[in-house]
Structure 1
Amino acid sequence: MKNADINFKENTAFSVEFDDVYFNTNKPQNESECVFVSAIDEIWEKQDSFIVAEAGFGAGLNFLTLCKRFKNTDKKLHFVSIEGYPLSKKSLQDIYDKLGVFKRLSKDLISAYPPTIKGIHRIEFKENIILDLCFGDINEVLKELDFKADIWFLDGFSPKKNPKMWDMEVFNEISKLTKENGIIRSYSCSKPVRDGLSNFGFNLQLRAGYGKKRQMSHAVFKTQQDKEKKDIWFERSETDSKKAKDVLIIGAGVAGCVSAYKLKNSGFNVTIAEKRDKIAQNGSGNHCGILMPLITKPDVNLGKMHKNAFLQAVRFYKKTMSEKEINFSGCAEYAYDETLTQRYFLNDDSIFEFYKDKKPYPYVFIKDGAYARPRKLCKKASKNIDIKLNLEYKSHKHLKNGKISVKFKNNDTIKTDILIFTTGSESVEIFKNLPISFVRGQVTHIKPILVNKIPLSAKGYITPAVDDIQVIGATYARNELNNSPTDTDNEENINKISEFVDTKNITIQGARVGYRSYSSDRFPIIGNLHDENFYKENYKDLFWTKHKGSKIKPKYQNNVFINIAHGSRGLCTAVLGANIISDLILNRPLCIEKSLFNELHPARFLIRQLKKGKLQN
């Protein structure tokens, strides 16, 4: 994406693309308060948390004005804003320097402001404020969102200057994302706005405008009848998170410990049950690992998911971890054949730098790539969590009182409100109806031989030296069980880094074996665990009706979630999994596009089979 092109006219920010000003007055914060933010006064006493959505983030003035309302209060704000032409950090700084308002808040916003990459950017702005910045064309973005807003701010450029943002399809999609009696506010009351609101279920009032503007729009949404929905089988279920207090997580690797951290910070009582005698003993137990996204061709969903996950992971680790746990050195991903060269160099995202004429191969420098100490990371994330060791999961059942009873192989039982599986390679045995396989991976520990300050990845990888050890790897052996390192695998790992070092001079100091789980389509499996029998019965006709919508909402195992199949990039995707699970439990807007959420959904494999007619009786 390109940044918005702006200049200043008499200290007022002006859009070159739309030939329009960002603000209409010399005190735009007052107009923001009057036109938009005052809407929250009408519902402030009725609830403790609010979802406010916005079309047209601009410089974030409405957001910062609203943030002031949430200072010194326990109430929570989730603000979702769409922007098709994101400002650069420098432009934001220039705007607030000239405005002279929100000096501290604007500094915080600029510091947290994401790279200009299409998609949803989750920012935990304050302890009680989440900002989801959604970059992209509004018609595309709206279809990718999943929430019911209490309030909408319509604050795009003038309908005459930017008619695309005010067309009927935009109002149609906004109506789907608004709760009953939800409020819409706009400075504009032009005909496109009046028609859009009245045509899609909003009762419009014209109220007194701000300053020289005679009128503004205030509208309230009235519910519409349920309509058939495409992909309704991936629709989320409502969770009564106010009643649910206790969370049990099975598995103490990165996915489990990060999920525990997130939910503990959201006010839940969290327990982790781990089958081994220590945490982080399987795939998350390596001496050193690399944080980097899988790079695909642009617009491939797998690559889009990895970029989203990578950016969420970077924000989380920077906020919670020190250099003892993770070092954001950047890392190099080499294109060691023509296929990779074509794939990598089609990208133009600002998180990458491209070097085509380098030896031994062209490479992509991943700016916020990092090398991490997974065990230390798990230990810090789970510092204040109740961890029960030597407990291996056996079964679970729902009780009449709504609790879930979890039984372990030593006959211990734990009762909980919410159950989350972060079981890595053990998922193969637990979820036999899901297409998961495990992969044995061996890494080799060598005496430092290369002075590299960043991880290098080609056919194999080599990390910087940590505690006088460089880690190289890794082998991949699907469904192979052998806990003992082998000389053959060490030799394979050494041969894979021959482009970087003279392998004759390598001294092996040790090796380690771990197991990872993979799904059949390479996406992790994240979400509410579905009721398989319900799906088979109620969606059995998908072979004939797959191109039509449905009104039948899916059924899930109540309060049972999975966050598994992260493969070799769990440092990256585990944080995404933890955020999605938290969103589902807390009924928050999703931190990832709906189409990508569907790609991660546990029921996706069953739905594909039903669409192909493979499960017909």
Structure 2
Amino acid sequence: MAEPVDWRADGIPRSARFDDIYHTETGAPAQARHVFLAGCGLPGAWAGQPQWRILETGFGFGLNFLTTWQAWQADPQRPRLLHFVSIEAFPVSREDLLRAASSYPALLGLAEKLAAQWHGLLPGFHRLCLDEGRVLLTLCIGDVQAMLRAQRFEADTIFLDGFSPQRNPDMWSADTLKAVSRFARRGTHVATWTIARAVCDALAQNGFQVTKAPGLPPKRDCLQGVFEPAWQVRRRGPAPSPAALAGRCVVIGAGLAGGAVAASLARRGWEVEVLEAAARPAAGASGLPVGMLAPHVSPDDALLSRLTRAGIRATWQQLEQLLEEGLDWRASGVLERRSAGDDRLPDGWTAEGPNESWLAPSMHVAEAGLPPGTVALWHARGGWVRPSRLIEAWLALPGIRVRAGCRAARIKRIDGEVTRWAVRDAAGALLAEADRVVIAGGIESHALAPDLPLQAVRGQVEWGRIPPGSRLPITPINGDGHLIAHVPTAEGNLWLAGATFDRDSIDITPRSADTDFNRERLARLHPDAAAQLAGAFVRNETQAWAGVRCASGDRRPLVGPLSAESADGVWLCTALGSRGLSFAVLCAELLAAHWHHEPLPLPAKLAQALDARRAWPDTEKPQILASAR
């Protein structure tokens, strides 16, 4: 549930939990500009930089963020990318977020864009993609020290905000400020409105040189500082190098994984060349006519559940920005049929949220045409997507060039003053040279990564045009198989059902036995739909489509260096399995975060679960996350 807010008669919001106001009576934007932005030398400090990374310890109503975003928009010398990472243990409601911004007309438009993505704020990380992907807000929902332990990056600027040290001492404790100092590099500026002695002392002990500055009335003083410790600072990973922040990259594969990587890197200024072995993009498993987007839900909110939830948020934002809703994708929600008695959800999950999956009411089940008494979950953040349209939109972004009919067979290091990499075909002909290479070719990645345990998983679906007068459900149905209907095309609305799951098979020739299997599965999933489509199968009015997915040994994607020898230049983004729509954007953003030393889009333990080095041969495995960050 959202944090309750008490609104005073003068419009100042107050927290009953901490018995304190959220911001000074002078106004939140004035405080943000005077204390935080000016206190850290912004916007001047970020002028001409490729990116800027801000850490904030208390999000509140987001008014510091909105004021910073506004300053970034107004600055012609702004960085290409603005990262804003903020921690909040008790997020407010969307309504209160907008109410707080309504007092400041200059911020209201930005607040409305923020509010559109203000959903599903369960404990953990939530990456909000704003301003066409150039402003990335990472909300870390939870206790401040736990969230600081879960995040990894070097901040350029630190905003220390929150309720007063007397009201919320944990936010300002010595342990918290020590954890904050882990994010600082030499020259990182810190600012806060409090001059409490304990805060000043803790910052000084952790390497910050702090000074008092004139405050914003009614406060007389505020605090400013810079990280310049007297000792040598040791970090786990190397400092960012110029080569890591710009250059030329070859992406091998033009499916969901390759398209997402190309888009993420192009937004960061890379010149990206995509090599596709087939005659066109989305020719492999990503060429599925229409796919379903739905999270995995488990009673203990297990690893896969948290990963798919984060992935769907990342994909959803791309769909909203790049595609036409109702034509290329539909935000319809998904109904997941469960077996009798399988109705358990994580503790505290209800239809009131912030979770976006809950037990579907019987009326909802009946409207979907399922038998009475069917147990089902409703996934509000679910729907269908035409993958080829999304890939097409990604590959059309500035900075991306696609070359089809180019099958990469070897990648070789070119040593020199700057290391580069050559990609060649089977005959040895040079296809491309680049500073870095990403292998994102699905199951064909095995040719370039023969030592990795990649498994082929063949899948076949059945599809066709919706017969006149049919009553197929508007809502996609998931469970033991899936059913998607009412997908508009130039030839009429289509339906799709399936899919099979055949390990170690790469033959995409349609099989009649698989068609029979999919029909039987559909009859169990949605008996009425199976009966309506029976005639179409008998009259051979249906079509079969088959593709080969790529999976890892533990069924999680592989994102990271190909090997120890190539960690500085050849990376993987592959093995998305049957969840390409859920994982592609998330994995691409994780790869970009590693390359650019950016804030992680996932808590460190979840990022570790996707690290490609877990699949290296045992003789090469380092300790995961003692990484190239």
Structure 1 counterpart of 2:323? 321
Return the alpha-carbon distance in structure 1 between the equivalents of residues 261 and 347 of structure 2: 34
Verify the 8 A CA contact 2:261 2:585 in the aligned structure 1. yes
Could you tell me how far 1:472 is from its partner in structure 2? 0.6
Return the alpha-carbon distance in structure 1 between the equivalents of residues 85 and 345 of structure 2: 32
What's the RMSD between the two structures over aligned residues?
A: 2.6
Correspondence 1:179-190 to 2 at 5 A: 179-190=185-196
Return the alpha-carbon distance in structure 2 between the equivalents of residues 423 and 566 of structure 1: 11
| Correspondence for 1:463 among 484, 495, 500 | 484
Could you tell me how far 1:356 is from its partner in structure 2? 5.8
Structure 1 counterpart of 2:438? 420
When structure 1 is superposed on structure 2, of 70-79 and 146-155 the one drifting more is 70-79
Verify the 8 A CA contact 1:252 1:272 in the aligned structure 2. yes
Structure 1 counterpart of 2:543? 510
Correspondence 1:243-322 to 2 at 5 A: 244-322=246-324
Cα distance change on mapping 1:187 and 1:306 into 2, 3 Å: same
Structure 1 residue 523 corresponds to structure 2 residue 556: yes
| Correspondence for 1:382 among 378, 395, 398 | 395
Structure 2 counterpart of 1:548? none
Verify the 8 A CA contact 1:185 1:218 in the aligned structure 2. yes
Structure 2 counterpart of 1:435? 453
Return the alpha-carbon distance in structure 2 between the equivalents of residues 100 and 8 of structure 1: 19
Cα distance change on mapping 1:377 and 1:243 into 2, 3 Å: closer
Could you tell me how far 1:439 is from its partner in structure 2? 0.5
Return the alpha-carbon distance in structure 1 between the equivalents of residues 254 and 622 of structure 2: 37
Could you tell me how far 1:432 is from its partner in structure 2? 2.6
When structure 1 is superposed on structure 2, of 76-85 and 199-208 the one drifting more is 199-208
Structure 1 counterpart of 2:522? 497
Cα distance change on mapping 1:12 and 1:406 into 2, 3 Å: same
Percent of paired sites with the same residue: 25
| Correspondence for 1:111 among 102, 109, 116 | 116
SS at structure 2 position matched to 1:393 = coil
Correspondence 1:548-567 to 2 at 5 A: 557-567=567-577
Verify the 8 A CA contact 1:239 1:585 in the aligned structure 2. no
Structure 1 residue 583 corresponds to structure 2 residue 608: no
Cα distance change on mapping 1:183 and 1:400 into 2, 3 Å: same
Structure 2 counterpart of 1:535? none
Could you tell me how far 1:286 is from its partner in structure 2? 1.1
Verify the 8 A CA contact 1:440 1:478 in the aligned structure 2. yes
SS at structure 2 position matched to 1:558 = coil
Query: AA paired with 1:270?
Result: V
Structure 1 counterpart of 2:627? none
Structure 1 residue 454 corresponds to structure 2 residue 475: yes
Correspondence 1:342-357 to 2 at 5 A: 342=344, 347-348=349-350, 349-355=354-360, 357=362
Cα distance change on mapping 1:72 and 1:31 into 2, 3 Å: closer
Measured against aligned partners, the alpha-carbon deviations of 1:265-316 in whole angstroms (never above 9, x if no partner) come to: 3332221111111221111111111111222334422221111111111011
Structure 2 counterpart of 1:406? 423
Could you tell me how far 1:183 is from its partner in structure 2? 1.4
Cα distance change on mapping 1:473 and 1:146 into 2, 3 Å: same
Return the alpha-carbon distance in structure 1 between the equivalents of residues 276 and 620 of structure 2: 35
Could you tell me how far 1:210 is from its partner in structure 2? 1.9
| Correspondence for 1:332 among 323, 331, 335 | 335
SS at structure 2 position matched to 1:278 = coil
Could you tell me how far 1:37 is from its partner in structure 2? 1.0
Could you tell me how far 1:164 is from its partner in structure 2? 1.4
Show structure 2 runs of 5+ residues with no match.
624-629
In the alignment of these two chains, the number of paired residues is 583
Query: AA paired with 1:395?
Result: R
Structure 1 residue 195 corresponds to structure 2 residue 201: yes
Cα distance change on mapping 1:286 and 1:12 into 2, 3 Å: same
Return the alpha-carbon distance in structure 1 between the equivalents of residues 28 and 465 of structure 2: 61
Verify the 8 A CA contact 1:114 1:121 in the aligned structure 2. no
Return the alpha-carbon distance in structure 1 between the equivalents of residues 510 and 251 of structure 2: 30
Verify the 8 A CA contact 2:410 2:423 in the aligned structure 1. yes
Return the alpha-carbon distance in structure 2 between the equivalents of residues 344 and 243 of structure 1: 41
SS at structure 1 position matched to 2:412 = strand
| Correspondence for 1:133 among 127, 136, 139 | 139
SS at structure 1 position matched to 2:191 = strand
Cα distance change on mapping 1:283 and 1:396 into 2, 3 Å: same
Query: AA paired with 2:101?
Result: Y
Structure 1 counterpart of 2:604? 594
Measured against aligned partners, the alpha-carbon deviations of 1:561-606 in whole angstroms (never above 9, x if no partner) come to: 2111111110110011121222233332221111111111111234
Could you tell me how far 1:241 is from its partner in structure 2? 4.2
Verify the 8 A CA contact 2:192 2:222 in the aligned structure 1. yes
SS at structure 2 position matched to 1:341 = coil
Return the alpha-carbon distance in structure 2 between the equivalents of residues 593 and 45 of structure 1: 26
Return the alpha-carbon distance in structure 1 between the equivalents of residues 118 and 76 of structure 2: 24
SS at structure 2 position matched to 1:303 = helix
Could you tell me how far 1:512 is from its partner in structure 2? 1.1
Return the alpha-carbon distance in structure 1 between the equivalents of residues 156 and 590 of structure 2: 21
Measured against aligned partners, the alpha-carbon deviations of 1:516-573 in whole angstroms (never above 9, x if no partner) come to: 11112221111233406xxxxxxxxxxxxxxxxxxxxxxx522322111111110110
Return the alpha-carbon distance in structure 2 between the equivalents of residues 114 and 607 of structure 1: 41
Return the alpha-carbon distance in structure 2 between the equivalents of residues 609 and 455 of structure 1: 46
Structure 1 residue 169 corresponds to structure 2 residue 175: yes
Query: AA paired with 2:100?
Result: I
Return the alpha-carbon distance in structure 1 between the equivalents of residues 476 and 500 of structure 2: 17
Could you tell me how far 1:129 is from its partner in structure 2? 2.8
Structure 1 residue 91 corresponds to structure 2 residue 91: no
Structure 1 counterpart of 2:626? none
Return the alpha-carbon distance in structure 2 between the equivalents of residues 278 and 433 of structure 1: 28
Return the alpha-carbon distance in structure 2 between the equivalents of residues 450 and 567 of structure 1: 32
Return the alpha-carbon distance in structure 1 between the equivalents of residues 69 and 62 of structure 2: 10
| Correspondence for 1:157 among 139, 156, 163 | 163
When structure 1 is superposed on structure 2, of 323-332 and 429-438 the one drifting more is 429-438
Cα distance change on mapping 1:280 and 1:237 into 2, 3 Å: farther
